[in-house]
Structure 1
């Protein structure tokens, strides 16, 4: 289950940012997980709950952005919607496609709790 290693990497990133900001707890993080990133969202969320236990990220709100997949069709010479690897172009039926969107995976925003 590679989602657990992804979750552990996210927690490491978040803890690093927290350390740079006087070890403040995290209120919210925003993740961008593209439709074609090869990540199972339910497993990732469960893994994040486990990996964040006892860290500055424990209990943080997690917001997900899920960009749709797109690909450049060489035959059509245009960007087309693309939802599953191995599928043909939805316009011409060709297979000369290059993914150009929806495969990203990153922490895009991090909100630290205010100091009381």
Structure 2
């Protein structure tokens, strides 16, 4: 389950920011996850709770912000929204899409003490 490794990386980010900015507890984490990132949201929630036990983020709320997949259609020369890799263009039905967004995952905001 790669969500466990992702949550460990998120905790590393939180701990690094805590050292740099001097906070001692994380209350809420807003995590932005793209539709094309291949992350299972419920598995992420489960793993976050497990990984953050006995850490500065123990008991923190994880808020997930989903962002759409974006692609450039080479056939109709437009930016389009897609739900999955290899989707056809929703405008023209073409299959020559270049993904331009929605594969990322990032910590967007923190509530700390």
Instruction: Name the TM-score, length of structure 2 as normaliser.
Output: 0.93
Q: For residue 25 of structure 2, what is the aligned residue in structure 1?
A: 25
Distance 2:34 2:23 in 1: 30
Higher strand share: 2
> Do the aligned residues in 2 keep the contact of 1:27 with 1:57 (CA within 8 Å)?
yes
Q: Name the structure 2 match of 1:111.
A: 111
Partners of 2:34 and 2:67 within 8 A in 1? yes
Number of residue pairs aligned between Structure 1 and Structure 2:
113
Q: Where does residue 4 of structure 1 map in the other structure?
A: 4
> How do 1:69-80 residues align onto structure 2 when only pairs under 5 Å count?
69-80=69-80
Q: CA RMSD in A?
A: 1.2
- What does residue 47 of structure 2 align with? 47
Question: Secondary structure at 2:67's aligned position in 1?
Answer: coil
Unaligned runs of 5+ in 1: none
Deviation at 1:89, TM superposition (A): 1.0
**Cα distance in 2 between the residues matched to 1:74 and 1:49:** 42
Bigger shift: residues 95-104 or 2-11? 95-104
1:96 aligned residue: 96
Contact kept? 2:7, 2:44, Cα under 8 Å: yes
What SS does the aligned partner of 1:66 have? strand
